[in-house]
A and B are shown apart, each in its own frame.
Chain A
């Protein structure tokens, strides 16, 4: 392990390679199974994967405010409704399995009030953008970004949210939380949920109990596309540091929101659009450069150029450290210091 960061602390960070995501939602299901199956958490999805361009989770995710302006002042936010996040739908199964009426009725999701939902996590899956035959989409995964300037933490009048000294993970102290939800308004990524039954705010905890046992988070270990890298950002030998700080191909999401997130994304290198003769037009990008810059900041163009250049180098028979990092032939290399196999750990007795 390398030395700590300038402030004497480690910062846990993740890199998600958008070029490798299958859109299978194994990460989401792994998280759901691990953490959010308790009463009051039915509609919570601490990990979400959305098709982009898309409206996100909650609906129109970046239109609800939060974060900081260029002067560093908090931006007022609003908390979307449960329907905008997506409720835990009930399914009208009776008529399918036991109505006996002979009338066929598709199993239909219902919201709490019995109406049909109009939004939910990943509602606009695979719609994407662009006009056929230049259509394009990619998947965007989101968890709590353990920001350097966590707007949720600053917004809480009770100091119920804290950033751990040892690894920079941002956590909610549920014993201190009184359910005021300023945190949920203030998070520009809207990654804080409200548990109506327990009257507390809850969010992704970066699987800290697993990390403390040397095990990578569930969303990372369960990813079949092996898109997720985790490490301390200051580990100069680690993938995360190299991708973020050396190769500069992993970028923060919406850096203009001012929270300095510690989840970074390798932007999607999509195929070029077709020219009129049916061949690829290599001079243009299928995804508008402005769109990727809006999502990932001004470094998007350069990051994509670097990836393209290194790909071509390997295609020509050469070697590339960047490609080796992104491919990670040994998947344990993705996991930084968290390579323990949970199946081999001694477990505490079941309660």
Chain B
């Protein structure tokens, strides 16, 4: 059962330059370090995946630093996590890219983060994948049900520097997927895929509980 933690990520006002994940402005904003855990293998929806990974480890990333900012009517979330061997763009068909995502409950706060929500309590997410110019806006109603949304207004940029990935994910305030407002704190989760470990799909490191993202009034 996932619960919401007391750790709060506070979004500060920033400049447009923050779309660059290495922009110096990010250093001036508060960052929260969230612990990551491997997703439960026994919950993977494919017997093949469960069997193939029972003797392998996944969820290599151990923690992620999260900062957030608003720029006009857009919310920017920056993730930073360390990885010594980045996979920026897979060199072959049997290699997998590094990736990350932030997850939000679509309606209320009761959605299970472990199961990627449910039919009754769906979730939505912003997904970035190294080597892809396209960001993905997704919804899910449980494991294996991720659907990509078309016509979204989402941008993502990733840079690997100093032994760590820095990725900004930016979407509109006032939208419905997720329903972000300045008035109410928003539950948020994070997932990180380590390509060097062949991680993809449900094989990833994630925050096993929701955290809280507060935006506040425009300064």
Contacts and interface: CB of A to CB of B under 8 A. Distances in A.
Nearest to B144: A157
Given A159-B144, A178-B146, 5 more contacts: A76-B52, A82-B93, A82-B94, A151-B48, A154-B47
A333 to B, nearest CB: 40
A156 B52 contact: no
A158 B48 CA distance: 12
A178 B201 CA distance: 8
B154 interface: no
A48 B12 CA distance: 58
Contact of B201 (A74, A78, A157): A157
A31 interface: no
Q: Is the interface of B mostly helix, strand, loop or mixed?
A: loop
B143 A157 contact: yes
Interface of B: 44-49, 51-52, 90, 92-94, 132, 143-144, 146, 200-202
Contacts, number: 63
Interface of A: 73-83, 85, 151, 154-159, 178, 180-182, 185-186, 193-194, 196, 199
Contacts of A79: 93-94
A40 to B, nearest CB: 11
Contacts of B93: 79, 81-82, 85, 181, 193-194, 196
B201 A80 contact: no
B94 A158 contact: no
A185 B52 contact: yes
B94 A78 contact: yes
B48 A180 contact: no
A243 to B, nearest CB: 32
Contact of A155 (B49, B200, B202): B49
10 A-B pairs closest in CB distance: A155-B48, A76-B52, A79-B94, A74-B48, A157-B46, A194-B93, A180-B201, A74-B51, A157-B144, A157-B45
A76 B198 CA distance: 14
